Structure 1
Amino acid sequence: MNRTRHEEFREYMADRGPALLRAASQLTSDRAEAEDLVQAALAKTYLAWDRINDRAAVDGYVRRAMVNTQISWWRRRKLEIYPTDELPDRPVDDHTRRSELHDVLTRALRRLPERQRLAVMLRYYEDMSETEIAKILGVSVGTVKSTVSRAMTRLRNDDTVG
């Protein structure tokens, strides 16, 4: 069955959209801007869809498009920001709390054994299924389930998280 370009791309977006949004959120630290970033990167990818011969490389293409687009937006905003002596009428969002939580989570993940850390990152950050993780790690699905379970138990019992 030959699927059309549009059907293939739509299927890719449905499958990988949540993972791409998480990656974009890491780049932007803002949900709305992350959604815009994913949309811009997917638009560029759609235009290049026929030139991407290796479908396994699509994620890399989209992520590179997100990084390049984010850099471009950052440069454009940098030119639009001017110092002023006046304070804004509304308070500015304080990202300190989010940054602190990110640091705590990063430290907790680093304390996990490598296999547990990798399994948790693939499962929850990359949104992969247990079957996909098993293939990547070269282990059984049951091993992936028990590894993730042990890691999550360890994270829940870690006094520095939460």
Structure 2
Amino acid sequence: MQDFEEWVQARSRSLARSAYLLTGDVHLAEDLVQDTLARVADHWSRVSRRGDPDAYARRVMHHRAIDTWRRRSVRPAEVMGDSHPELGQHGPDVERRLVLRQALLRLTPKQRAVLSLRFYDDLTEVQTAGVLGCSPNTVKSQTRQALERLRVLAPDLLSDLVEEPIR
């Protein structure tokens, strides 16, 4: 079980960031990480033998998040308070993070999951489809729709990320 504890130490922060991207709430993210780690621990011998506990943990986390969204009668963006953990941090990117957070909360849960897997966890379309249990074409369409929605919700944010063409 020591190898599980070492894996948890090495991956906890990354799992917490992914969970926060999925839930948009620090407390819900902590619950999601704990639930994910408990499920990974239950199957650790099989998961570690297969050699990719990160992939299994991502799959569990996203499935648990989707199960939570399905059980809720209200979307997460509607139940979250105005608490912003980023406000305690200082720097030029605070406002940008808040704009991004608000825009992400207005996407559907599946769109947030697709964006976090594709662009935060840097998974391919096929890997993302495997985690979410859908087809690669669904990942492509969800990504396209989510990015279109973000362009509407936060145009300044995306324009900051795109370089001006060289003339």
Higher relative contact order (CA 8 A, sep 6+): 2
TM-score by length of 1: 0.48
